[in-house]
Amino acid sequence: MNVGFYGHVRQYRGIQAEIDGNLREVLESGQYVMGPMLKRFERELAAYHGMKYAIGVGNGTDALWLSFMALGIGPGDECITTPNTFFATAEAIWIAGATAVFVDCDPRTNCIGPAGIEAAITPRTKAIVPVHLYGQCADMNAVRKIADRNGLLVIEDNAQAIGSRGDGFKPGELSDAACTSFIIQKNLGCFGDGGAVVTNREDVDRVVRRLRNHGSEKRSCHGMGFNSRLDDLQAGVLSAKLTRIDEWNALRRQWAARYSAGLRDARSITLPYEMPGYYHVYHLYVIETRKAEHRDSLVDFLAANGIDAKCHYPIAIHQQEGYPWGKGARIAGAIPNSERNAACCISLPMFPELTADEVDYVTGKVLEWDRTAGAA
Ligand SMILES: *Cc1c(COP(=O)(O)O)cnc(C)c1O
């Protein structure tokens, strides 16, 4: 059996009539940029989050740095985040001209650890940028308290966790802005690039809206800005898919539970940890080998059996040669958990359109490896 990592075409088949209908509506309207479909999707996305404002932008990276810029974060400012995330979290801080300060993640959730944040605060600290890694919210109750005590901004990197919940909060509610990505492999994916900023702050809404469209609020009047718009065709795809996101996230949780039950007794790996009271949406189902030297052995064994497993993310940002050190970033304190996560992580196939047979096949192969190579 072959089990792929994504189910993009299966998903399209399941919702083809709605997507094609929206695409036709946009095509026949003649309004492809900043048109009515974008406005409609922005309204729907804000309502979905229970938030006042949603602004569609070109991609998730832009959503982050446009938010930083709208909140006045720039040169001389430090933003505290984790190094075990997709590169774009730090890249966006660099684009804004600020300095990324990397602290360690929590050993169980792999999201930012509150103790590390407190220890890393300096007079230059301006913001905390928690990443809701793999589809589970960071501990925003703790982040909010630290931010309040120290007068810091909070910008959530919510690229992976649309539809998730924490204990008593949803993404966006405890921060100045939550930033999401709609690139196809995310839980809510369009057919290309897209992103959005969700916020309750009227000033953030107004400034991001202006910055994404050449600094213009009124036709022909400009301040300095950029071009980063979500186009109406992508908004049409997303508007159709948004009606299914809760159903799809529930399926992801169902497959995650099936993996975790099947792999419960495996001795050489650890399974994802869900915080009590949290609703993890399993953008990725990430296990870790107990020994770093086992990671590639398991990935290769799965590949040899037709299973596409991946690693998110095998090189932490502070280990990337391409990251600009000095003004660009620094590490605060020891970061053993982030380094263990990078060395040991394996993402098993996870998408709503998996079948029970596929999940059971993958589970069986992981167990087979666990009994043989994993026991060595
Ligand atoms: C995908 C992703 C981004 C960037 O989104 P793009 O749309 O690719 O620019 C940022 N942060 C995290 C954690 C991501 O997973």
Which residue's CA lies nearest to atom 6 of ligand 1?
60
**Residue 156 CB–ligand 1 contact under 6 Å:** no
- 280 and 168 in a common domain: no
What is residue 333's predicted lDDT score, i.e. its pLDDT? 86
- 212 and 168 in a common domain: yes
What is residue 326's predicted lDDT score, i.e. its pLDDT? 66
Nearest of 170, 153, 185, 353 to residue 284 by alpha carbon:
185
Instruction: Report CA 200 to chain centroid distance, whole Å.
Output: 20
What is residue 329's predicted lDDT score, i.e. its pLDDT? 83
Instruction: Indicate the residue among 242, 264, 283 that finishes a domain.
Output: 242
Cα of 197 to ligand 1 centre, how many Å?
Answer: 13
- 315 and 215 in a common domain: no
Is residue 111 a contact partner of residue 103, using CB atoms and an 8 Å limit?
Answer: no
- 200 and 59 in a common domain: yes
**Residue 347 CB–ligand 1 contact under 6 Å:** no
Give me 308's structure tokens. 């596409």
The CB-based long-range contact list for 314-319 (8 Å cut-off, 24+ gap) reads 314/342, 314/343, 314/345, 315/342, 316/83, 316/84, 316/341, 316/342, 317/83, 317/84, 317/85, 317/87, 317/89, 317/90, 317/100, 317/102, 318/83, 318/102, 319/83
Residue spans of the chain under pLDDT 50? none
**Residue 184 CB–ligand 1 contact under 6 Å:** no
What is residue 328's predicted lDDT score, i.e. its pLDDT? 73
**Residue 59 CB–ligand 1 contact under 6 Å:** yes
What is residue 327's predicted lDDT score, i.e. its pLDDT? 66
What is residue 56's predicted lDDT score, i.e. its pLDDT? 98
Cα of 220 to ligand 1 centre, how many Å?
Answer: 32
- 196 and 286 in a common domain: no
Cα of 323 to ligand 1 centre, how many Å?
Answer: 16
Q: Which amino acid is at 237?
A: V
Domain span at residue 178 reads: 10-242
Cα of 306 to ligand 1 centre, how many Å?
Answer: 28
Instruction: Indicate the residue among 242, 275, 300 that finishes a domain.
Output: 242
pTM (global) more than 0.75: yes
Cα of 133 to ligand 1 centre, how many Å?
Answer: 11
| Residue 312 within a domain | yes
What is the domain-level CATH number for residue 369? Answer: 3.90.1150.10
| Residue 4 within a domain | no
**Residue 187 CB–ligand 1 contact under 6 Å:** no
**Residue 153 CB–ligand 1 contact under 6 Å:** no
Instruction: Indicate the residue among 199, 218, 242 that finishes a domain.
Output: 242
What is the domain-level CATH number for residue 89? Answer: 3.40.640.10
Based on C-alpha coordinates, what's the Rg of the chain? Answer: 21
